[in-house]
Structure 1
Amino acid sequence: MPLSGGAPREVLEDVFYADWAPDGRNLAVVRPVDGRFRLEYPIGKVLYETSGWITYARFSPKGDRIAFLDHPTLGENYGSVSIVDLDGHKSTLSSGWKQLKGLAWSPAGDEVWFSANRATRSELVYAVTLAGKERLILEAPGWMRLQEISRDGRVLMLEATPRSRIVCRTPDTAAERDLSWFDWSTAADLSGDGKKLLFYEWGEGVAGNPTVYLRDTGGGDAVRLGEGRALALSPDAKWALAFQPGPLPRLALLPTGPGEEKHLPSSGLTEYYSAAWFPDGNQVLFVAAGSDGQPRSYVQSVNGGQPRAITDETAQAVLVSPNGKMLAAVGPAGGYQLRPVDGGDPRPIRGALAGDQLLQWSADGRFLYVQGLSDSAVIFFRLDLATGRREPWKTIEPADPVGVIGIQPAAVHITPDGRSFVYSYWKVLTELYLVDRLK
């Protein structure tokens, strides 16, 4: 947009980050192309690309280098601080960070400043020279995320206190109940009778290490089941399926009572997104990606055996019907499908709208519960699979809207009878600071 005014002009679509070169003539941009993130300068010339993702690309004051945060896993914040010159020669300045966000060059261009932490998900401010020498700049309560450094050395900082909350409602309670445990509580599943909540913590309360818990929706203490990101609770509520990241990513079966933890063969799969159990409790359906980064749906026996792909990269099956014969899937171009487990032609889910989240099948298999598109409320609809009738079911909003930044789409769950539900939402209170003489 011209500084003198006028309408904005679109330059490029699907850009995640952009920064002007010091001479103001061209932009460096970060964008996804064919499943990989690219850093381009000028637009169209690829300096670096990755199957993970790239954040906070910033030009050096001289315009001869671009600093950025390099994350090896898409959507995860761990990674390294890197620079690339205009010929595409990349160097890593600092690595091994568990939490990594915010980046700016020092006015002299001899250091890159960033917000990070190697132990937890809180954020401290560090600096690293072009030779890789690190030093701590600022340690303070809460998150201190670096925003910008002016030419005269003043530093713009954002102090934030993020919280993920869990809210549950069952027929036995007169009002919604907060079932959050530590600071980043995220709902993963609800038992069929609405009495057990599966969730995981992944904030300061567990030092940033995802940890699985089970809790009665009526209250009481949460029970720690093991490490990982919780995905789904078995039909008999005796096992929790969890994703355990690391050098050898894998699915784990965590007993909710007496028993030993079990692990499923991964066959090279590296990232797991969602999961559901088959009604007999002997198989699981999950969406995962391998080395090509393309999510597909798989079925795997919990008693051993390799995962079996049941869709290509154009569809993701996320729910299993009560009789175990049909799958509800997100198809090409965001459409919704019913797909036979044993193969066959898919058919569209009538009544589903763009942006819906498929949540749950009714116990009799006649209906699907979906979550409508909304950032600030949970809007449930019930779809009649035979007629396509879309019926409003429930609308819920967080009781205190101050600081709410959105409902977590993958953390909304409802029981087959539609009477119990749980959801998670993010709440962040922030303050902006301008800091002088920070060196």
Structure 2
Amino acid sequence: GMGEVYRARDSRLQRDVAVKVLPRALAQDQDRLRRFEREARAAGQLNHPNIMAVHDIGSTEPNGGGLPYIVCELLEGVTLRNKLAAGPIPPRKAIQYATQVARGLAAAHAKGIAHRDLKPENLMILAGDHVKILDFGLAKLLRPDADAGGTDDDTGPVARSLTMTGEILGTPSYMSPEQVRDQPSDHRTDIFALGAILYEMLTGRRAFDGPSHADRMTAILQSEPAPLPTETEDAAPGIGSIIAHCVEKSPTDRFDSAGDLAFALSLVIGRSAARPSSATTAADAGHTHVSALTVPRDLPNRRVTLREGAVHGARFTPDGKAVCYGAAWEGHRVELYWTYPGNPESRALGGPRTDLLSIAHTGEMAVSVRRLSRGGFFYTGMLARMPIGGGAPREILDGVWEADFHPDGRRLAIAREEGGMARIEFPAGTVLYQTPGAVSSIRFSRDGSRIAFLDHVARGNDAGCATVVDMDGNVRRLSAVYSSTRGVAWSPDGREVVFAASNEGSRAIFAVDPEGVTRMVLGIPSNITLKDISRQGDTLLVIENERMRTHFIGPTEGDARDLTWLDWTLVRGITADGSRILFDETGLGGGTLGSVYIRGTDGSPAIRLGDGSAFSLSPDGAWALASVGLARSTLELVPCGAGEPRTIPTGDLDIDHVSWFPDGRTLCCLASEPGRARRLYKIDLARGKREPFSEEGITYYDSLVSPDGRFALAHNPDRRLTIYPVDGSASRPLEGAIEYERPVGWSAKGDAIYVFSRGELPVKMWRIDLATGARMLFREISPLDATGVEGIATARMTPDGRALAYCYYQRMSRMYTVEGLF
């Protein structure tokens, strides 16, 4: 069978591990042994919270002639098989288990690795109902070869795959039809098995059962599982159809991916959570409660855009029939377009770098000229007005993030930054709301009495909540905080604020009323960004395929490589020798709380350090700074190797960024106190004592300390890089720097600073001499495929300037009009 498992101590990293010593038959077949090593290494690349980590492989003899073994993380819990011995599992818990398994499978499938022997014995339930998938890659390898020629078959013949050294290896009840028929299989085999496992969790009986293996395989090929009990369907509406979709006989009829399955399961959890009450408020227990959901199927829709690239601002024209939008197609700058849904061609309305902000009922457009990305999903430009049919824009005000026409068609509300605070103004200059975080998607209500917007908890990410402010500045938060929010509109009757958001899975469309009662309007297995809702009830939305990619450039040309791990790989630090990078995953792959990783720049597998979002690496590369939770009020010191994490006391600070002083014992923290703008603090690691040393109003969300520890570099209230002495003496602007330029790092001697500007391609990286302000071009960077890319997001460089890691946001948009949602 699987051999014996031992508890062992890794003396090098001071941790307990599990060592699985595999059967002697495996060691005696060199072809199978080589395949075992290859696949075990592949399994070792899987670093996901729901997959058992593989640390090492080896042999009990130094020359490799002994028994092969595999070193895994030590898990303490019970298998799902043991749980099932007590009977069916409550629906909500069973679906939560299945959702975790689906997420783990999605991560493995993304790496080209399928399990092919998923069963309750291979699922471990840990404390807190955390699920781990065991033995990835082993099931296939433990089967004898398909033929004497050693062909590396995907499945292996059934008769031989059922037994090994006299024991059952693959339980027939969870095999897919293609496995039973000895046909090639892929990741959809795992989806079939998970559907069968979920059925068994809910009912306490196997989906495909019988007194013998042959009977069970016949049931897999010819029968369907018995219907779920009525009480199960009532507790989790729609779960039966999801299981049926998983266990379709043909792989093409199943879910396309485990990610799609995870999303569908998350919707069922949302439905079942809402069933006891028809109306709950966002304030209840700090969670969003969603009313009963039925995902609309076959809604009338039309695709509006067919080109490759990113859609920006978009609105219906006043008659609700045509669409105006800004888009950056095929790697070009954003430009204005007009189209009629159903027409494959769009007509250009203006020059490059012009985006749409709003359309008045009179047909006049508010546009942003010289629009540029400033990072963290925010853009700035010159606010201007122009006719909807095209023509020269009339410029009004620079530095505006967003704008929206009042229903009177004449006045504009704007969002912009002043003094380090994000502000909503109406009219321009009159502040209705301000925050050290950020605001987006400002939209007047149908009667003009309120403005709905997304209130973001921090700069640099799109976590936020749906909020309204009236004309007297009274603010009301309507929804809970979601980990991703994009786009706001009002329902046709003006009674609900509609927004796109997610906490787990893909962004869906929600609607919330003035009392905070939230309902889901539309959920699909893709990220949605809401653009507009017409008075007639049509919805304009964009389906986003988006990723954050990270690349590394070493001292030589051959050192360049793609280090993207999951879907949102954002580099946060690089070791002094350029051998490792610190990054976080805050997209779908990172989970609800996000995940912090360390990875070798040689392309070796990433190591997950823990939950949260990362800030920076310690000077010696031994520690990472991270924050767990959307509020960013807790700072964690996380070891990059052996050791225990610890919490750094920060009091009531709301943290935007943290970097290290060279001594490794002091932190430079960019943060804000309640009700105040952000500033720089010096924090002692040992005592937690903090001392502010800059003015309030620091505008951007990064800061870097000089090599001698005497200065910190940050953006002043005018958005220009400024050098702040740590002793609190007078600051001085960095001569030669341009507004909004981002720092990459200090030179090793501290006599120069490297910078770049967001929103341009190719990206020019400059060296600015501190003494003279002279700028010298240091490097040019451009992704191989610039479609959907607007520049790089962040970059981190070694002190000697020889190694660099940078990341860039890439998105591909498809815009649709959808009828029938309202």
The verdict on a shared fold, with TM-score over 0.5 as the criterion, is: yes
Asked whether the equivalents of residues 203 and 209 of structure 1 are also in contact (C-alpha less than 8 Å), the reply is: no
Compared with structure 1, are the counterparts of its residues 107 and 345 closer, same or farther at alpha carbon in structure 2 (3 Å cutoff)?
closer
1:435 aligns with 2:818: yes
Asked whether the equivalents of residues 372 and 381 of structure 1 are also in contact (C-alpha less than 8 Å), the reply is: no
Q: 2:442 aligns with which of 57, 65, 70?
A: 57
1:188 aligns with 2:559: no
Quote the residue 1:423 is aligned against. Answer: 806
Asked whether the equivalents of residues 436 and 678 of structure 2 are also in contact (C-alpha less than 8 Å), the reply is: no
Following the alignment from structure 1 to structure 2, what is the Cα–Cα distance between the partners of residues 5 and 169? 44
Following the alignment from structure 2 to structure 1, what is the Cα–Cα distance between the partners of residues 772 and 434? 47
What is the letter of the counterpart of residue 312 of structure 1? E
Compared with structure 1, are the counterparts of its residues 72 and 298 closer, same or farther at alpha carbon in structure 2 (3 Å cutoff)?
closer
Following the alignment from structure 1 to structure 2, what is the Cα–Cα distance between the partners of residues 314 and 30? 17
Compared with structure 1, are the counterparts of its residues 233 and 10 closer, same or farther at alpha carbon in structure 2 (3 Å cutoff)?
same
1:207 aligns with 2:613: no
Deviation at 1:381, TM superposition (A): 2.8
Q: Which is worse superposed, 360-369 or 159-168?
A: 360-369
Quote the residue 1:229 is aligned against. Answer: 613
Quote the residue 1:218 is aligned against. Answer: 602
1:169-184 equivalences in 2 (<5 Å) = 169-171=553-555, 174-184=558-568
Deviation at 1:164, TM superposition (A): 0.2
Deviation at 1:203, TM superposition (A): 0.3
Counterpart of 1:152 in 2: which secondary structure?
coil
Following the alignment from structure 1 to structure 2, what is the Cα–Cα distance between the partners of residues 247 and 315? 19
Following the alignment from structure 1 to structure 2, what is the Cα–Cα distance between the partners of residues 355 and 47? 25
Deviation at 1:33, TM superposition (A): 5.2
What is the letter of the counterpart of residue 582 of structure 2? L
1:361 aligns with 2:746: yes
Following the alignment from structure 1 to structure 2, what is the Cα–Cα distance between the partners of residues 78 and 435? 26
Quote the residue 2:188 is aligned against. Answer: none
Deviation at 1:123, TM superposition (A): 1.1
- What's the TM-score, normalizing by structure 1? 0.86
Asked whether the equivalents of residues 120 and 203 of structure 1 are also in contact (C-alpha less than 8 Å), the reply is: no
Deviation at 1:147, TM superposition (A): 1.2
Q: Which is worse superposed, 71-80 or 148-157?
A: 71-80
Asked whether the equivalents of residues 267 and 306 of structure 1 are also in contact (C-alpha less than 8 Å), the reply is: no
Asked whether the equivalents of residues 267 and 307 of structure 1 are also in contact (C-alpha less than 8 Å), the reply is: no
Q: 2:775 aligns with which of 390, 399, 406?
A: 390
Compared with structure 1, are the counterparts of its residues 267 and 42 closer, same or farther at alpha carbon in structure 2 (3 Å cutoff)?
same
Asked whether the equivalents of residues 693 and 725 of structure 2 are also in contact (C-alpha less than 8 Å), the reply is: no
Deviation at 1:215, TM superposition (A): 0.3
Following the alignment from structure 1 to structure 2, what is the Cα–Cα distance between the partners of residues 238 and 362? 22
Deviations 1:313-346 (CA, angstroms, capped at 9, x unpaired):
3679933333434544555745555555446565
Counterpart of 2:570 in 1: which secondary structure?
strand
Deviation at 1:280, TM superposition (A): 2.7
Following the alignment from structure 1 to structure 2, what is the Cα–Cα distance between the partners of residues 84 and 279? 45
Quote the residue 2:24 is aligned against. Answer: none
Following the alignment from structure 2 to structure 1, what is the Cα–Cα distance between the partners of residues 644 and 665? 17
- What's the TM-score, normalizing by structure 2? 0.48
Deviations 1:200-236 (CA, angstroms, capped at 9, x unpaired):
1100002242321100000111111122221221122
1:106-121 equivalences in 2 (<5 Å) = 106-117=491-502, 119-120=503-504
Following the alignment from structure 1 to structure 2, what is the Cα–Cα distance between the partners of residues 383 and 412? 16
Following the alignment from structure 2 to structure 1, what is the Cα–Cα distance between the partners of residues 640 and 561? 22
What is the letter of the counterpart of residue 27 of structure 1? L
**How many correspondences in the alignment?**
435
Deviation at 1:114, TM superposition (A): 1.9
Asked whether the equivalents of residues 99 and 121 of structure 1 are also in contact (C-alpha less than 8 Å), the reply is: no
Compared with structure 1, are the counterparts of its residues 256 and 83 closer, same or farther at alpha carbon in structure 2 (3 Å cutoff)?
closer
Asked whether the equivalents of residues 103 and 114 of structure 1 are also in contact (C-alpha less than 8 Å), the reply is: yes
What is the letter of the counterpart of residue 197 of structure 1? I
Q: 1:22 aligns with which of 407, 419, 422?
A: 407
Compared with structure 1, are the counterparts of its residues 149 and 47 closer, same or farther at alpha carbon in structure 2 (3 Å cutoff)?
same
1:291 aligns with 2:667: no
Counterpart of 1:97 in 2: which secondary structure?
coil
Quote the residue 1:67 is aligned against. Answer: 452
1:123 aligns with 2:507: yes
Counterpart of 1:94 in 2: which secondary structure?
coil
Compared with structure 1, are the counterparts of its residues 255 and 176 closer, same or farther at alpha carbon in structure 2 (3 Å cutoff)?
same
Counterpart of 1:205 in 2: which secondary structure?
helix
Asked whether the equivalents of residues 377 and 407 of structure 1 are also in contact (C-alpha less than 8 Å), the reply is: no
What is the letter of the counterpart of residue 280 of structure 1? D
Following the alignment from structure 1 to structure 2, what is the Cα–Cα distance between the partners of residues 109 and 374? 36
Asked whether the equivalents of residues 282 and 302 of structure 1 are also in contact (C-alpha less than 8 Å), the reply is: yes
Following the alignment from structure 1 to structure 2, what is the Cα–Cα distance between the partners of residues 315 and 81? 26
Deviations 1:44-78 (CA, angstroms, capped at 9, x unpaired):
66555555444323233344444333344455433
Compared with structure 1, are the counterparts of its residues 327 and 108 closer, same or farther at alpha carbon in structure 2 (3 Å cutoff)?
closer
Following the alignment from structure 1 to structure 2, what is the Cα–Cα distance between the partners of residues 92 and 365? 45
Following the alignment from structure 2 to structure 1, what is the Cα–Cα distance between the partners of residues 517 and 758? 47
Quote the residue 1:137 is aligned against. Answer: 521
Asked whether the equivalents of residues 244 and 252 of structure 1 are also in contact (C-alpha less than 8 Å), the reply is: yes
Following the alignment from structure 1 to structure 2, what is the Cα–Cα distance between the partners of residues 326 and 220? 35
Quote the residue 1:238 is aligned against. Answer: 622
Name the one with the larger helix percent. 2
Compared with structure 1, are the counterparts of its residues 344 and 162 closer, same or farther at alpha carbon in structure 2 (3 Å cutoff)?
same
Deviation at 1:252, TM superposition (A): 1.6
Unaligned 5+ runs, structure 2: 1-385
Deviations 1:223-282 (CA, angstroms, capped at 9, x unpaired):
11122221221122111122334567122211011111122221321122241x233322
Compared with structure 1, are the counterparts of its residues 41 and 348 closer, same or farther at alpha carbon in structure 2 (3 Å cutoff)?
closer
Asked whether the equivalents of residues 373 and 379 of structure 1 are also in contact (C-alpha less than 8 Å), the reply is: no
Asked whether the equivalents of residues 499 and 511 of structure 2 are also in contact (C-alpha less than 8 Å), the reply is: yes
Per chain length, whose mean CA-contact separation is higher, i.e. which structure has more relative contact order (CA < 8 Å, sep 6+)? 1
1:100 aligns with 2:510: no
Following the alignment from structure 1 to structure 2, what is the Cα–Cα distance between the partners of residues 139 and 149? 17
Following the alignment from structure 1 to structure 2, what is the Cα–Cα distance between the partners of residues 347 and 27? 36
Unaligned 5+ runs, structure 1: none
Deviations 1:345-367 (CA, angstroms, capped at 9, x unpaired):
65665554554433223334444
Following the alignment from structure 1 to structure 2, what is the Cα–Cα distance between the partners of residues 22 and 105? 13
Following the alignment from structure 1 to structure 2, what is the Cα–Cα distance between the partners of residues 388 and 34? 25
Compared with structure 1, are the counterparts of its residues 375 and 292 closer, same or farther at alpha carbon in structure 2 (3 Å cutoff)?
farther
What is the letter of the counterpart of residue 538 of structure 2? R
Runs of 4 or more consecutive aligned structure 1 residues displaced over 6 Å after TM superposition: 314-317
Deviations 1:154-207 (CA, angstroms, capped at 9, x unpaired):
221111011000000112661521101110110001101000101111000022
Following the alignment from structure 1 to structure 2, what is the Cα–Cα distance between the partners of residues 321 and 44? 37
Compared with structure 1, are the counterparts of its residues 270 and 355 closer, same or farther at alpha carbon in structure 2 (3 Å cutoff)?
closer
What is the letter of the counterpart of residue 637 of structure 2? L
Asked whether the equivalents of residues 27 and 43 of structure 1 are also in contact (C-alpha less than 8 Å), the reply is: yes
Counterpart of 1:116 in 2: which secondary structure?
strand
Larger radius of gyration: 2
Asked whether the equivalents of residues 338 and 349 of structure 1 are also in contact (C-alpha less than 8 Å), the reply is: yes
Report the RMSD for the aligned CA atoms in angstroms: 3.2
Counterpart of 2:644 in 1: which secondary structure?
coil
Deviation at 1:296, TM superposition (A): 2.0
Asked whether the equivalents of residues 56 and 103 of structure 1 are also in contact (C-alpha less than 8 Å), the reply is: yes
Compared with structure 1, are the counterparts of its residues 19 and 194 closer, same or farther at alpha carbon in structure 2 (3 Å cutoff)?
same
Compared with structure 1, are the counterparts of its residues 39 and 401 closer, same or farther at alpha carbon in structure 2 (3 Å cutoff)?
closer
Asked whether the equivalents of residues 35 and 293 of structure 1 are also in contact (C-alpha less than 8 Å), the reply is: no
